[in-house]
Every structure is written in C-alpha cells, then in structure tokens.
A and B are shown apart, each in its own frame.
Chain A
Amino acid sequence: MAAISIRALRKSYGDVPVLRGIDLEIRDGEFVVLVGPSGCGKSTLLRLIAGLEEITSGEIRIGERVINQLPAKDRDLAMVFQSYALYPHMTVRENMSFSLKLRRMPAAQIDAAVAGASAKLGLQSLMERRPRALSGGQKQRVAMGRALVRDPKAFLFDEPLSNLDARLREQMRYEIRRLQRDLGTTSIYVTHDQIEAMTMADRIVAMNDGLAQQIGAPAELYDNPSNLFVAGFIGSPAINFLDAVLLEGPGGALVMVGSERLGTVPWPQGLPADRRVTVGLRPERIVMGPASAGAPAQIDLLEPMGLGTVIHLNLAGQILKLFTTDRLQEHCRGIVGLCVQSADILLFDPRSGLRLRAA
C-alpha cells in the first residue's frame, strides 16, 4: 500500500522521445487509469514504474523512496500483462506460488496465501491445470491471482482485457474494480479503451504524444476537457467538432456555424484574432426540434442502436451527429432545428487545440 509519485519523467530510445515529461501524484489506494491511443507512451510509463525499462531522466518514488535505480524484482509491485505471461510449464498453483517461493516463505504460509487468492477469484477448481488448458477469462483470473497473492504495494495492469471478447470484458471490468475496492491497493491501469477508463477510474490520465494531456476524475474530463485531444478521445459516441466564428451579439458571443447561429456563449479569454474557433458538441447534448426552433440542419442518415439513435445531420455544410434516446418515426427526414445549451458549447483554439474558457 503506497502512494506513487512521478516527477518530470522522460524516456527516450536513442534520439526518439517517447515520454516528454510526466508529472503525476497517485494517492494511496487510488485506481488511476492511463488512457490514450497507440504510441502515446502509456505502456512505456507503466513499464518504467515496473522497472522493466530504464528511465532517461526524472524521478519515480514509491512512498518516500526514490526507486529509479531499483531493479524490478525489489520494487514489490505486481503486474498483470496483456498476454497474461503465465508460466506455461507450471500448474496454476505453481504459477501463483512462484513469487512466494522466491521469497523463501514457509510452505504452509504459501499454501494459505494461494488458497486465499484463489478463493477471491473463483479459481479453486483450476489449481492443478496448466495454462494451455485454460480459457482466456480463466487465464486472466490466474494472472490476477498471481498478482494478488503477493500483497504488493501497487498493482500494474497492462491492457489486461484487450484479448477478451466484449461480454467477458464487461464482466471482468466489474470484477477488477470490485476487487481493488475491497483490497484498497493502489492500482495503475493502462488501456486504449476510453469506456474502461471512464467506468473504472478514480482518476484518468489522458495521454497523447508522450505527454499527460489532462489528469482528473472521469466526469471532469468529460464535462471540462482541456484540449481537443481529450474532448475527442473521451466519450462515446465521439464528440462533434465544427468550424465556427464568434460574432458580437447581445449578451455575449454568437457562435456562428456558416451562416447559422448555434447559440450564445460568454466571451472567452485567449480568443484568436480572426475569432475562428473549433466548437465541440457532445452528440447527446444536442436537442432536436422543429426547424424554426433552432439552427436548421438536414437529416442525412439514422443509425438505430437499441439504446437510442444516432442521427447524422448536415448543418451549413458540416457533418455532425446527434444522439437521442427518444423513439423516432421511421421516416424522419427533412430539416430540423438544433438547440444546444450555452454550457454545452465547448470552444477550442483551432491551432493550438487548447480549450477557450470564459474570462
């Protein structure tokens, strides 16, 4: 059980920078998710914490102790790999006992620890099997059991659910989270799936291009993204990005998409000189009404999804999507009016990608 502190961490392979300065303070018992697209550096960051790679510069602490030079075997961290990395020639029981045997724990104690972990994960009937006789989900559990048995300072998860099918993934998400909550162990979880991030994390670190783009609670990243990347990455269906211009208006700035008025917002700070902005609109925040009631848009395509419907619209030549749980008429066509609340219109600088907030 420990807090983990990462300061100014950089990693390069030769001349190629992979991590360009990460600062992160993880509280004891927290479940932190590192999320981002392939190549953003999240797995590298996890491996640096684990001690599987060398740090180029910066510092990692566990508790008060700087562990930069500490080899992986002495860091007292447990890792669950994407490919599970179970020892193929050992039974489940031997897989789980291996680390304790290395520590020369007495046999009785090892058995007790293994029994406890396998009970928590429902592995009792599998103990004498070899990995090749296990299903994907079972291998997953054994990998977690191997980590659990050690009672480490922190758990590290490297995309553990990527190899499972959708149903299994849902179930394992719940189980991992529940387990972690019961144990209270600090956990760092890497994934490229933003749904996993949103549903499991206490805090999310959204990473792109070797930097932490935003760190915060899921709701914070959803409601208040700090740049284009975070806004576009978090949320499903994906956010709409539209080109717009701000004009003088009564009560604030008018957001103009083409020649259509989308809404009014308070004047933001740091507006570019030509007043061109990128507008972010979440599909579920747009309300659809009769054509006269809002910005007029042409319905292009309907995608029923069971839970709701995604409607593809054309607003002044730009495509956007709307999500609604209302049941619509099959032959819903033609022009509709779009309304958005002022707080749901997110403004971004088109060049830097940074969020523009009100003064």
Chain B
Amino acid sequence: MRSAARARGLYWLCHYAALALFVAFALFPLFWLLKVSITPNDLLYSEGVRLWPSHATIAHYVSVIQHTQFPLYFRNSVIVSATTALLSTLIAAAAGYGFSRFRFRGKLWILGVMLVTQMFPLVMIVAPIFRLLAPLGLTNSLSGLVLVYTAFNVPFASFLMQSFFDGIPKELEEAAMIDGATRFQALRWIILPLTLPGLAATAGFVFTGAWSELLFALMLNSSSQVSTFPVGLLSFVSKFSVDFGQMMAAGVLALIPVCAFFLLIQRHLVQGLTAGAVKG
C-alpha cells in the first residue's frame, strides 16, 4: 500500500516538474522581452544576464509611443486584422456550412483546391498578385492587404467552421424546416447561435494570422502610411539595430492585442478542434 502511494506521489512530482519545464520554456522568451524593454539603456550592457534590472523604466515605451510611427503602424494592423477576421469568418462560415450540410458534385474537387492552396510558398505569387492589384489601385493600401489576407485565410477557416458545424446535429435544421423555416432561417435562428464559440475561435485564429503576416505587408505596401506593424518593426530593427530597449518595447506592445484575443478564445478553440476530432 505505502509503496503504491509513494509511486503515485513520485508520478505527480514528475508530472508537475515536466509541466514546469514546458511552462518555463514557453514563457521565458516573452519574459525576457519584457525584461529588456524595461531596462534603462545605461544598464543594458552591464546587466545583460540579470533576470531583472536593478532599475526599471518605462522610458522605452514612452519613446516608442511618442517619437516613432508605431501608433500608426499599430492602428493599421488593427484595422487590417479586424476587417480580415470579420470577412474571413463570414465567408468561411458560409462555405463551412455548405461543406458540412450538403453533398454535391465537385465537392471533392473544391476541397482538393483548398488543400493545394496550403501547399505552395506564398513567395511565388507575390509578383502576380502585385500585378493584379496595381491596376486596381489596391497596392499601397490597407484594402488590398485585407483582400489578400482574406483569401489566404479562407481555406483553413472554412475547414475549422466545417468541423464546428459537423458538431451540430442535422436534426435541428430538419426540425426547424418542418416547423416552417427556410434553410436560411434555420441557419440564422437555430444553428448560428450554437456555433458562436466556433465563430469566435475562427475569428481569433484569422486575426492572429493576419496580425503576424510579414511578407505581403512588406511587398505590397511601400509607403509608411499604410505599413502594418510587422513591417514597422522590421524597419525599426534594420534602422536602430542597437536600440534593443525600444525594439523590445515595440514588440511587447505588439503582443498585447493578440495575446488578449487569444486568452479570450483559447477555450473555444480547443473545444472546437476536439469536437471536430470526435466526429472523425
């Protein structure tokens, strides 16, 4: 009896120790980012390896917000990411619903095409897209980015939405249609309220993806007026490659929206992926 209890105690010890390692690994880089961002410049080199500066300061944040164009970049990113998330979720919800509820000719082909879009380096299509958008006046604009980002995100978002819809029994729409609803009314009143967690999760996923996108933001928009923050941060890095304090402060600022969003939706995301998995 006692050895069994001891074995169990040992098991949980290892369990928590392993988890502690994972948590430390996950959080350490972010912690370091924070740490350097509040280290005053004069202590930066002398106290390089300390885990916490002897003297903390918010001077870097103030400098970033007031003396650089970061607020503009930030604003642009918010506009682009939020709009992309909204559009992608709507379009993907419609497509995901279509895949979930209907059997129709060409379904396999369409799914195949969507799979292919995940398989090639996006670098390949930068130039063609540039040539496509330039005559339409969509280069050097936020709308052009939104268009491109929405197209990139719709395949995976549709797949996510399809799993969420698969988790809702078809009988509910059938009951609604027998009650006198058109399919669209059934979708609006019965099904959509039930997929709100799924919609939130998909929106969060797309938001995060759009927020992080570097390549096309770099290539399609050259004016700093319409640069998103990844571009801004990169130019910052090349221009001020030794001003680590400010760079890291900018990085921390950039993390805030996505982490906040993530915290809100992470439960639903796990739930949604689990639901899809159970269905097979």
A residues touching B (Cβ–Cβ < 8 Å)? 50-52, 71-75, 77-79, 81, 83, 85-89, 98-99, 102-103, 146, 150
Contact = CB atoms under 8 A, between A and B. Distances in A.
B175 interface: yes
B215 interface: no
B128 interface: no
Given A52-B174, A89-B194, A102-B185, A150 B179 contact: yes
B190 interface: yes
A84 to B, nearest CB: 8
25 contacts: A50-B174, A50-B178, A51-B178, A71-B182, A73-B178, A73-B179, A73-B180, A73-B182, A75-B178, A78-B178, A79-B174, A79-B175, A81-B174, A81-B175, A83-B169, A83-B171, A85-B171, A85-B174, A87-B172, A88-B194, A89-B193, A98-B176, A98-B179, A98-B189, A150-B179
Contacts of A150: 179
B194 A146 contact: no
Nearest to A149: B179
Which 4 pairs of residues, A with B, have the shortest CB-CB distance? A99-B179, A85-B171, A85-B175, A102-B180
Contacts of A75: 178
B178 A72 contact: yes
A140 to B, nearest CB: 14
- The binding surface of chain B is classed by DSSP as helix
Interface of B: 169, 171-172, 174-182, 185, 189-190, 193-194
Given A88-B194, A89-B194, A103 B180 contact: yes
Given A88-B194, A89-B194, A99 B174 contact: no
B108 to A, nearest CB: 15
A71 B185 CA distance: 14
A50 B169 CA distance: 18
Contacts of A73: 177-182
B181 A102 contact: yes
A128 to B, nearest CB: 18
A25 to B, nearest CB: 23
Given A73-B182, A102-B185, A85 B172 contact: yes
Contacts of A72: 174, 177-178
Nearest to B173: A85
B179 A146 contact: yes
Nearest to A79: B178
A43 to B, nearest CB: 12
A78 B181 CA distance: 12
A88 B194 CA distance: 8
Nearest to B168: A88
Nearest to A103: B180
The listed residue with most A CB atoms (<10 A of its CB), out of B174, B181, B193, is B174
Contacts of A99: 179-180
Contacts of B182: 71, 73
A102 B194 CA distance: 19
B161 to A, nearest CB: 18
